[in-house]
């Protein structure tokens, strides 16, 4: 049917590669038909197919065999195929099987090269073979449908940040499938903000996964202890019972309190595929599916060794954005500034370490700014570098309680 039915060919083409066919003659004939249709948007005549095959066939192959094959194809009775939908489903199943076979064969070579992370991508791409095609939105004819979708709760912002001013500028906060990034020099408050964000999201009823690439799970939990209970860090080890009582109170009094899980990965050992595999384990073994993922922080993820550092970081940001979209969740991460980040009064994308390209795919980027005087008085300033869904390039003040590790808006 691919040779005689344009509709069938157009639906089969995204799934089928010429090399999926067992016989070389079928591979070459399909390749010619596909390429001709792609270029001219119509099916080729038999004479054209045969003429193109001349340059593709091997010297050991007989041209007459190709003529006989086309004649045989032309004699097939397509009316015997009762359902085009059934045939397309069969093509999809066949294409997926062939793609998996191809991926498995390539994986053997990757195993020998110890390039294990690339195996996941191969298998995932093979499993994603499908005849389902999203042709996008027809702007002028879908007004009602678009407004109905926008009015649904799951498409409205539902993830609050720690700061009310920022939530207001975002018209309610962040949404699923988005990526948010915190920028600051070392020691100014990147991880501190992310911990506060974890608590805020959990209290708001979201399941939160906190991935630490630097601190141990117990150290992260200890930070969260103070933020949740307002017990000073220095007093925690002497107030175990008080800590448990306050956490029990929070669990019983906060309606729809989300779950919170902490996982440590060794620095520069985990990449986005590692995270994806871990998420699959969480779902399979603990039925835990996070709606907010916090990654502390971007530069500590493993990058492709074949890329320059700035390219690797940009690729990581792209992959995290893809992960958010794939899992329909919100992803938070942080990134460090370069050396100038300590010198300037307001950190912009100019001071981003190694690559400002990593902010291109982000939906929200803000910096935490602090001079020595502000540090001494437990104050800082937040500057919104980028906001895809709200106002940007504005500043508001914050306070930092370093004893209880709580960040708040205001002076």
User: Domain residues of the chain, as ranges?
Assistant: 6-127, 153-409
Alpha carbon separation from 271 to 45, 120, 127 (Å, rounded): 50, 12, 21
> Whole-prediction pTM value?
0.72
Q: Judge whether residue 129 has pLDDT over 80.
A: no
Largest CA distance in the chain: 90
pLDDT digits (tens, 9 = 90+) for 171-214: 889 999 999 999 999 989 999 999 999 999 999 999 999 999 99
- CA–CA separation, 18 vs 20, rounded Å? 5
Only one residue has tokens 């015997």, namely: 80
Let me know if the fold of 6-127 is the same as that of 153-409.
no
Q: Judge whether residue 77 has pLDDT over 70.
A: no
* The pLDDT of residue 218: 95
Q: What is the DSSP string of 22-80?
A: SSHHHHHHHHHHHHHHHHHSSPPPHHHHHHHHHHHS-TTS-HHHHHHHHHHHHHS-GGG
- CA–CA separation, 228 vs 146, rounded Å? 40
Q: Judge whether residue 237 has pLDDT over 60.
A: yes
Q: Judge whether residue 157 has pLDDT over 70.
A: no
- CA–CA separation, 313 vs 316, rounded Å? 5
Helix, coil or strand: residue 334: strand
* Cβ count within 10 A of residue 381: 17
* The pLDDT of residue 88: 82
Share of the chain above pLDDT 90, in %: 49
Contact 309, 303 (CB under 8 A): yes
> What phi and psi, each to the nearest 5 degrees, are found at residue 187?
80, 5
Q: Judge whether residue 155 has pLDDT over 50.
A: no
Only one residue has tokens 């911990």, namely: 195
- 352: which strand partners? 337
Residue 388's H or E segment, with its range, is none
Contact 303, 315 (CB under 8 A): yes
Picking from 327, 324, 274, the residue whose alpha carbon sits closest to that of residue 301 is 274
Picking from 167, 126, 255, the residue whose alpha carbon sits closest to that of residue 203 is 255
Range in 291-305, 364-378, 384-398 with the lowest mean pLDDT: 291-305
Q: Judge whether residue 138 has pLDDT over 80.
A: no
* Cβ count within 10 A of residue 220: 23
pLDDT digits (tens, 9 = 90+) for 316-326: 999 999 999 99
pLDDT band at residue 82 under the 50/70/90 scheme: low
- CA–CA separation, 263 vs 147, rounded Å? 40
Q: Judge whether residue 120 has pLDDT over 80.
A: no
Length of the chain: 411
Range in 23-37, 80-94, 350-364, 372-386 with the lowest mean pLDDT: 80-94
Specify the higher pLDDT residue, 142 or 337. Answer: 337
User: Is domain 6-127 given the CATH code 1.10.860.10 in the classification?
Assistant: yes
Q: What is the DSSP string of 258-284?
A: PPEEEEE--TTT--HHHHHHHHHHHHH
Q: What is the mean pLDDT of the chain?
A: 88
- CA–CA separation, 365 vs 349, rounded Å? 9
Q: Supply the angle between the helices 24-40 and 63-75 in degrees, to the nearest 10.
A: 70
Residue 173: both structure tokens together: 């906060």
Range in 110-114, 236-240, 244-248, 376-380 with the lowest mean pLDDT: 110-114
- CA–CA separation, 124 vs 107, rounded Å? 12
> What phi and psi, each to the nearest 5 degrees, are found at residue 191?
-65, -35
- CA–CA separation, 322 vs 118, rounded Å? 16
Picking from 222, 220, 225, 221, the residue whose alpha carbon sits closest to that of residue 191 is 220
The CATH number, out of the four listed (3.40.50.300, 2.60.40.420, 3.40.50.2300, 3.90.550.10), of the domain defined by the range 153-409: 3.40.50.300
Range in 42-56, 148-162, 197-211, 289-303 with the lowest mean pLDDT: 148-162
Q: Judge whether residue 353 has pLDDT over 90.
A: no
Contact 96, 126 (CB under 8 A): yes
208-212 and 260-264 strand pairing: parallel
330-336 and 208-212 strand pairing: unpaired
């Amino acid at each position: 049917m691919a040779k005689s039915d344009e509709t069938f060919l157009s639906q089969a083409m995204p799934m089928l590669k010429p090399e999926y066919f067992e016989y070389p003659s079928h591979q070459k004939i399909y390749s010619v038909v596909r390429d001709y249709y792609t270029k001219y948007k119509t099916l080729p005549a038999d004479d054209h197919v045969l003429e193109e095959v001349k340059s593709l066939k091997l010297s050991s192959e007989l041209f007459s065999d190709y003529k006989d094959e086309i004649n045989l194809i032309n004699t097939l009775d397509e009316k015997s195929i009762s359902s085009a939908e059934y045939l397309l489903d069969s093509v999809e199943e066949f294409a997926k099987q062939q793609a998996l076979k191809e991926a498995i064969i390539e994986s053997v070579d990757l195993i020998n090269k110890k390039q294990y992370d690339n195996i996941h991508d191969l298998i995932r791409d093979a499993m994603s073979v499908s005849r389902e095609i999203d042709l996008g939105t027809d702007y002028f004819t879908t007004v009602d449908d678009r407004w109905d979708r926008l009015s649904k709760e799951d498409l409205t912002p539902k993830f609050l940040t720690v700061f009310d001013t920022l939530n207001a500028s975002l018209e309610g906060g962040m949404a699923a499938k988005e990526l948010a990034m915190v920028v600051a020099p070392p020691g100014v408050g990147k991880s501190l903000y992310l911990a506060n964000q974890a608590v805020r999201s959990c209290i708001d009823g979201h399941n939160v996964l906190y991935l630490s690439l630097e601190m141990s799970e117990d150290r992260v939990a200890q930070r969260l202890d103070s933020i949740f209970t307002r017990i000073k860090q220095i007093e925690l080890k002497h107030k175990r019972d008080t800590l448990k009582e306050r956490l029990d109170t929070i669990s019983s009094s906060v309606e729809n309190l989300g779950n919170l899980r902490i996982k440590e990965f060794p620095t520069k050992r985990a990449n986005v595929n590692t995270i994806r595999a871990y998420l699959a384990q969480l779902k399979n073994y603990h039925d835990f599916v996070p709606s907010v993922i916090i990654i502390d922080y971007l530069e500590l993820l493993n990058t492709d060794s074949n890329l320059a550092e700035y390219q690797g970081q940009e690729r990581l940001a792209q992959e995290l954005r893809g992960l958010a979209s794939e899992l329909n969740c919100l992803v938070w991460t942080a990134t460090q500034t370069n050396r100038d980040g300590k010198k300037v009064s307001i950190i912009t994308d100019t001071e981003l370490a190694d690559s400002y390209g990593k902010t291109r795919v982000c939906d929200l980027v803000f910096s935490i700014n602090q001079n020595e005087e502000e540090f001494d008085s437990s104050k800082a300033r937040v500057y919104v570098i980028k906001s895809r869904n709200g106002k940007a390039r504005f500043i508001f003040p914050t306070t930092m309680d370093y004893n209880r590790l709580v960040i708040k808006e205001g002076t």
